[in-house]
Chain A
C-alpha cells in the first residue's frame, strides 16, 4: 500500500538536504569580513576559556547566531509559503507576494520609530507582536479581496499592490525618523540576517517551534483539502477552523521572520516549488519537513552569497533571494500554463 518509490525519494531528499545544510553551515562559519583560519574557528566553538579572544567573539556572537537565524527563519518562511499555497490552492501564493511580509514590516517600522522617539527600547517579543499584527492586517485585506476576486491572478496583483503601499508608507516613516536610527532601520527594512543576537534568536526559535508544532497537526486536514473544499468537508474537516488555523500559523511564521530579518522575498514561493519537483509528490507529511529544510538551505546559501560575493560590502538578503528565486517563479508559471493547456482546465 505504501508507495515505496515516493517514500524512498522523500528520504533521499531529506538526506540530500541535510548534507547540503551541513556543508553550508561550515561554509558560513568559515567565511566573513574578518578572515579567521578554520583551526581558530573550531577552537572558538569548543574552547571554554573564560576570556575569549576577538576571533572567538566574532564566531560566537556574530557568525553563529547569524547562520542559525538564516536557517531557522528561512525554514519558517518556506513553510509559511507552503501553507498559503495550500490555502489559496495556488502555487504562486506566498507571504511576500500577498503583501503579508510588507504589512509586518510596516507595523514593525512604525512601532520602532514610535518607541525610539520616546526612548523606550523595543523588546524582541514586542517586535514579533507588532509584526504579527501587521501580517494579520494585510492578510485580512487580502482575504477580504479574495471574496470578490475569484481570479487568482487578480488576487496576487492585489497582494503585490498592498505590498507596495506598505513599503511606501514604511519608506516615508523611515525618511522622517531620527537620524541616528535611520541606518539601523534602513538595513532592516531591506532584509538582512545580520545583527540578530542570541536572545532574539531564542525568541524567534520559540515562535517558529510553536508554529511548526501547530502545523504538524494541520498535516491531516491539508491532505484532505487537496481534493478541494467540498470533499474535505465531506470527510469531516471543519473548514472554518482549518482555514483560521492555517492563516494564523502562516502569519505567525511570516511575522517572526519579518520582525527579525525584515521582509525577504521569493523564499516562500521558490522553495516549496523546488521541493515539490524534488519529491514529485505533494503529500503534506513529506512536504512539511522537506520545505523547512529546503528553506534553511536556500537562505543559508543566499546569505553566504550576500556576504561573500562583494565582500566586505554586504548585499541585502532579498537581493540575493530575488536573484535566485524569481527565475524559479517564472519557470513555475510557465510550466503551469503548459499543464493547464494539456489538462484543458484551470
Chain B
C-alpha cells in the first residue's frame, strides 16, 4: 500500500459505558475516498462516528488519524486533521453565516480567537469554493436547511481537515439540496483529496456517491466493499431484514410487497407502460398477473416485485408459443385484462393475440373501472 491512509481502525469496539454496540471494526480511509456507513437504525452508525470524532472513548482497539493514535493527539491538533458535520440542528443566536464558518478556524487562532489575515483568506476561499457568497451576511437561524448544511460543510472545511466525518448530512434536505450537497462534496473530495466517512440513510445516494460502503449489522461490519459489490442480489433486503417489500439494488428503488392470491386482472404491458397500472392495482389490493415480458423489459423488475404471477420470456427473445399459451391460460382465470400498449413490435407480436382474446371475450377493462 503506497497511498497514505488518513484513517485506520483496528479491532475497534464502540459503545456507551460497558455496553459495546459495534465490535471489531477494522477499516481504513484514503485521500479522495468517500466511505458510506449504512446500517439499520440503532446498529451504531452514529456511535461509531462519535468515537472516531473522539466524543466517545473507544471501548477496545485502536484508531489512527493521519498515522497518529487517536488517544495521543491533543484536542486542537486533532481538530486540524479531522472536522465534522453533525446531524443535530444548531441554533446559535444572532450569528451570521460568515461567523459560523469562521468558527472553523478555532484550532488555528491564538488564545483570544482573533482571525489573522491568513485565517480570513482561507475563510474567503472556502466561501467561494462552496458557493455561499450570496448568503454569507445572513443570520444563520433564518436560512433554509439546505443552505445551513452548506454553511456547516464550509465551517468544517475551514478546519482544513484531511478527514471529514459526517452524520447523516443529507437527512433534512429536499431532493434538490441532497443532490447539490453530494455533488459539491464529491468535487471537494476530488479537489482537496479529503477522506470522508459518513452515514447515509438514502441507500440510492450511497450507491451512487460512495467509493466504499461499510454495512453494519448485529454489532459488527457485515460487509465492506465498493457499491457494485454491496448493491447486488438480495443483500440490501437481508441487511435491513426487509419483509414487507423488496429493494431493487440496480435501480436503488424500494418496492412494497406484492398482493398475493389468485390473479384477478391480467395486465398486458411492456416498455415501462405497465408500471403505473401495477402500482395502482397494488395500492387497491387487487392481485394481478402480467406477461409476456422479456426479462430485459423496463416493466419486468417492478412486475417481479408487485405482481402475483409474471410470465417472462428470456431476454432479447421474441415471445415464444409456449409462453403465449401459458399467458392465455392465466388470462382465462382472470376476470379481465388491462392493456397499456398501443402498438406491438416484432418481439412481442404474439402478445397481440392476448389482446384479441380479451376483446373477443369482452373482458378488456380500463384501470378506472377497477379502482
List residues of chain A with CB under 8 Å of any chain B CB: 1-3, 6, 91, 216-217, 219-220, 223-224, 226-228, 230-231, 233-238, 276, 280-283, 285, 343, 345
Contacts and interface: CB of A to CB of B under 8 A. Distances in A.
A237 B120 CA distance: 21
B91 A345 contact: yes
Interface in B75-118: 75-80, 82-84, 86, 88-96, 98-100, 102-104, 106-107, 109, 111-115
Given A224-B103, A226-B95, 15 more contacts: A1-B120, A1-B123, A219-B112, A220-B106, A220-B109, A223-B113, A231-B84, A231-B86, A235-B107, A236-B74, A281-B95, A282-B92, A283-B99, A343-B91, A343-B141
A1 B95 contact: no
Contact of A276 (B74, B94, B109, B124): B94
B76 to A, nearest CB: 4
B159 interface: yes
A44 to B, nearest CB: 41
A236 B106 contact: yes
Interface of chain A, main secondary structure: loop
A220 B93 contact: no
A6 B76 CA distance: 28
17 contacts: A1-B120, A2-B120, A3-B98, A219-B113, A220-B111, A226-B95, A230-B88, A231-B86, A233-B54, A234-B55, A235-B159, A236-B77, A236-B78, A281-B94, A283-B99, A285-B112, A343-B141
B232 interface: no
B53 interface: yes
B137 interface: yes
A231 B90 contact: yes
A236 B79 contact: yes
Contacts of A226: 92-93, 95, 103
Contacts of B54: 233
Of residues A220, A231, A280, which shows the largest number of chain B Cβ atoms within 10 Å of its Cβ? A231
Contact of A224 (B83, B88, B106, B141): B106
Given A220-B109, A234-B55, A235-B107, A3 B96 contact: yes
A234 B98 contact: no
Contact of B79 (A228, A235, A276, A281): A235
Contact of A237 (B80, B106, B112): B106
Given A219-B112, A220-B109, A3 B83 contact: no
A246 to B, nearest CB: 15
Nearest to B93: A282
Interface string B290-303: 00000000000000
A235 B103 contact: yes
Contacts of B124: 1
Of residues B76, B80, B99, B124, which shows the largest number of chain A Cβ atoms within 10 Å of its Cβ? B99
B123 A230 contact: no
A216 B99 CA distance: 19
